[in-house]
Copies of this chain bind each other. A is one copy, B any other.
Amino acid sequence: MFSKACEYGIRATLHIAQKSLHGERVSLKEIAGEIDSPVAFTAKILQQLTRAGLITSVKGPSGGFQIAKKDMDRIKLSDIVNTIDGDSIYKGCGLGLPACNAKKPCPVHDKFALVRNELRTMLENTSLYELATGLDLELTYLKR
């Protein structure tokens, strides 16, 4: 569904969000450890998310990544997915046809549109805050 980079990106962001609920900043190392991902590759992804303004980074000792509490319900899953995988998952044709549209639809156009729209709606309406809270209550997990 998503690229590996995107999966790591979502997992990392959720861990940062959960820690940020308690005002704690987390280092790259800790993040990679907690979400069980390759350190250097995760670094690249966090850089993308930082540049996109979804998370904040601080260099130097006691540095790391964080997310302002007030941003947490503004930021949606769709923001992360868009930053890393782009919008092809919403916009692209299910069969990969570059010029598929309602006027000249591919054979699965309508059926796919339904599923894709549900996916988009879900991603656009699911906030970091909501998911981080579930993590904090240990109702959900990020490892293994």
Contact = CB atoms under 8 A, between A and B. Distances in A.
Interface of A: 1-2, 4, 7-8, 10-11, 14, 77, 89, 92, 94-100, 104-109, 111-112, 114-115, 118-119, 122, 126, 131-132, 134-135, 139-144
A141 B89 contact: no
B7 A104 contact: no
Given A14-B107, A114-B122, A122-B111, A143 B97 contact: yes
A89 B94 CA distance: 14
A105 B109 CA distance: 32
A134 B94 CA distance: 16
Contacts of A109: 140
